[in-house]
Structure 1
Amino acid sequence: MSIRPILETRRATPALEGAGVKLHRAFGFQDPTELDPFLLFDDFRNEYPQDYLRGFPWHPHRGIETITYVLSGTVEHGDSLGNTGTLGAGDVQWMTAGSGILHQEMPKGNAQGQMHGFQLWGNLPAAQKMTAPRYQDVRGSEIPEIIDDDGTRVKVIVGSFWGKTGPVDGIAADPQYLDVFVPAGVKKTFRIDTYRRAFAYVFEGAGAFADASAPTGVLLEKEVAGEEVNIRDLSGNRTLIRFGTGDEVTVQAGPEGVRFLLISGAPIAEPVAWHGPIVMNTQEELMQAMRDLRNGTFIRPAH
C-alpha cells in the first residue's frame, strides 16, 4: 500500500455567483488538468437569506455534468425540458448537461434561514459532449451509510466503498463520491484506486492528513504519543486537500472529529475549451455553442 502524497492544501475563497449568491470556491476556472476530470467545486453555505435567495436564474450548460449535494435547506430546480423538483437536506442531483440544457437553481433556507450545499462540475469526454441531457435525482434516504466499529461514518453517494454502492450510476468519470465523518482522536485509512485523481474537502471539524513524504505523518505521531497538536496544524473548515498518486488516504481526526468529502475520478486527459458554463474540446466547438445560444438551437430535440 502507498499513502498518496499531499500536493497542495488550500482554503476555499469567497466568490459571487448567479444573481448574487455568496459562496466559497475550492477550485475552478483555472488549470482544468489539475483535478481532471473535475472542473469546479463550490461550497454554498450561508446563515442569512439575503446572501443566497436570489439564486442561480436561467443559465445554459453544455459538455459537463453538475453534481449538487444539499446538507441543509432546499434547492428548487427547473429546466428547458420541463423538469422541475426540489432537493432537500441529504439529497443529491447529478445532471448530465450533454448537448445542452437551460436550467435554474433557487436555494431556500431551513427554518432557521440556513442554507448549505455543494456543487461539483465533472467534465465529459469528447465522445459524450453532445449526449442527450439527463437527470438523476436521489433522495438522502436512498444513499447508503456505513458505520464502522470506531464510529466512522461514510455515506456512499457514487461508486462502491466498503461493500456498498451508491445510487448514482452511468457517470463518464467513473467517480467515487463519499461523505465521511471520523470521530475525535480516530485515525482512519481509506483506499482509493491508484488511477484516480483525488481530493478531500473538509467542511466540519478538523483533521491531519498523512503525507507520503513522512509515511506515519508527524502530526499522527504526535497524536499517538498523546502530545497536543496545535489546531493550526490541522486541515479545518473549507480546506481542500489535493492528493498525488497512491492507493490510500490516511486522516487523524482532531479534537472535534472531522467531516469531509472524499472525491475521486478517472482522468479524461483531453483538450479543454472552457467559457463559463460551457466546456468543450476546441474553440470552434465553443463558438458553435455561442451561435446555438444566439439562434435558438442550443437545445436539441429529443430522439
Structure 2
Amino acid sequence: MKIVRRLRAHATQDGDGVNIHRIADFTQLSLDPYLMIDELKSDQASDYIGGFPPHPHRGIETFTYILRGGFQHQDQMGNVKDIRTGQVQWMSTGFGVMHSEMPLASEDGAMHGFQIWLNMPAKDKLRPAKYQDSSNQSLPYFDNGAGGKLTALAGSWLFAGKTLTSPLNQLTAQAAIADVQLNAHGTANLALQHFEQVVLYIHSGELSQQNLTQGQAVIVDSQVAIELTGGEEGAGVLVLAGQKINEKIAHMGPFVMNTQAELQQAVADFQAGKFGQLAL
C-alpha cells in the first residue's frame, strides 16, 4: 500500500452542539469527490442528544452509516425513517433538501456513526433530490477466511473473488463505500485500480503494518494493491473510493456550488421557501 497523504480528524461541533471528529477539504479538494468525513463516537448522551434540527442542503450528496445507535431522518420529500445499527442512508440533495436527523441511542447510550459529504458535478447540482436507505434491505458482506470481512455500504466491490453490490449504487462520481472489519492480525487485500481516488479511515483499532490508529485517515495510491493487517485488537476501516470530479467549488455552510453567484442564489431560494419544509 502506497500512502499519498496522512490526515487526522479534529474535534468540532455541529448541529445542536453535537460533538464530532471531522476531516474536510473544501479548498484544495484533495479528497475529491469526497468533501467531508464526520465521525460521531460517544458513550455520553450529552455529546449528541441535541441532534441536527431542520437545516437545508444544496449541491452535495450525504451518506450516513450507523455502527451503533441511530438517527431518525425526516425530510421535505415526506421521508421519515429510523436509521439504526448496520444501516446506511443516501441523499442526493441536488436543487435542495430540508431535513433533520435526531438521535436514537442504543440501550447502553452509545452512538457511533458517520456522515460523509460528496460533491456533485455542476451538471447535476440543480436536479431533483433523491433519497434511499437500507432500512428494508440487507447489505452484502463476505468473509475472506483470513480474518477480514468487507461489507458493501455503497456501490460494487470485488473482494476475495466475490462480487458484492450494495442496494445503494447510484452515488455521484461512481463512488463506492465499504466497511472492512479485521480480526487481530487478520488481513484483507483490495484491488481498486479502476478508481481514481481511494481514502481509508480507521474507525476502530489499528492497522499494524502502517502504524495507523483510529481517527486517522490516509489517501492511498489507487494503482497500487492495498494490503490491510489488523493490530492486536483488530481494526475497522472505512474505505471510500470514487472518480474525481475535478471542478472548482464555492462552499458556504450546507451549500456547495461552483461559483459565488450560485451560492447567493442558493441562499435566496432557501429564504424564499423553495426548498420546502418538514411536515412536523
TM-score when normalising by structure 1: 0.85
- Mapping for residues 153-168 of structure 1, pairs under 5 Å: 153-162=149-158, 163-168=163-168
Structure 1 residue ranges without an equivalent (≥5)? 209-218, 220-232
Alpha carbons of 1:137 and 1:195: their partners in 2 closer, same or farther (altered >3 Å)? closer
Name the amino acid aligned to 1:14: A
* Structure 1 residue 189 displacement after superposition: 2.1
Residue matched to 1:216: none
CA deviation profile, 1:33-88 (whole Å, cap 9, x unmatched): 21100000000111111110100111100000000001111101111222211101
SS for the counterpart of 2:172 is coil
Residue matched to 1:67: 63
Name the amino acid aligned to 2:263: L
Name the amino acid aligned to 2:19: K
Alpha carbons of 1:88 and 1:245: their partners in 2 closer, same or farther (altered >3 Å)? closer
Name the amino acid aligned to 2:193: D
CA contact (8 A) 2:38 2:115 kept: yes
Q: Distance in 2 between matches of 1:31 and 1:94?
A: 24
- Mapping for residues 1-303 of structure 1, pairs under 5 Å: 3=1, 5-25=2-22, 27-139=23-135, 142-162=138-158, 163-208=163-208, 219=209, 234-299=211-276
Calculate percent identity across the aligned residue pairs. 34
CA deviation profile, 1:150-185 (whole Å, cap 9, x unmatched): 121100111222311111022221112110012222
* Structure whose alpha-carbon radius of gyration is higher: 1
Q: Distance in 2 between matches of 1:124 and 1:63?
A: 6
Q: Distance in 2 between matches of 1:32 and 1:292?
A: 28
* Structure 1 residue 109 displacement after superposition: 1.1
CA contact (8 A) 2:60 2:255 kept: yes
CA contact (8 A) 2:69 2:84 kept: yes
CA contact (8 A) 1:178 1:262 kept: yes
CA contact (8 A) 2:155 2:170 kept: no
SS for the counterpart of 1:57 is strand
Q: Distance in 2 between matches of 1:10 and 1:98?
A: 29
C-alpha RMSD of matched pairs (Å)? 1.8
Q: Distance in 2 between matches of 1:120 and 1:140?
A: 21
Q: Distance in 2 between matches of 1:126 and 1:56?
A: 27
| Bigger mean CA deviation after superposition, 193-202 or 267-276 | 193-202
CA contact (8 A) 2:52 2:101 kept: yes
* Structure 1 residue 194 displacement after superposition: 4.4
Alpha carbons of 1:141 and 1:95: their partners in 2 closer, same or farther (altered >3 Å)? same
Name the amino acid aligned to 1:8: R
Q: Which has the higher strand share?
A: 2
| Structure 1 consecutive aligned stretches of length 4 or more whose deviation exceeds 3 Å | none
TM-score when normalising by structure 2: 0.92
Alpha carbons of 1:11 and 1:82: their partners in 2 closer, same or farther (altered >3 Å)? same
Q: Distance in 2 between matches of 1:253 and 1:29?
A: 28
Alpha carbons of 1:123 and 1:32: their partners in 2 closer, same or farther (altered >3 Å)? farther
Tell me the matched-pair count: 273
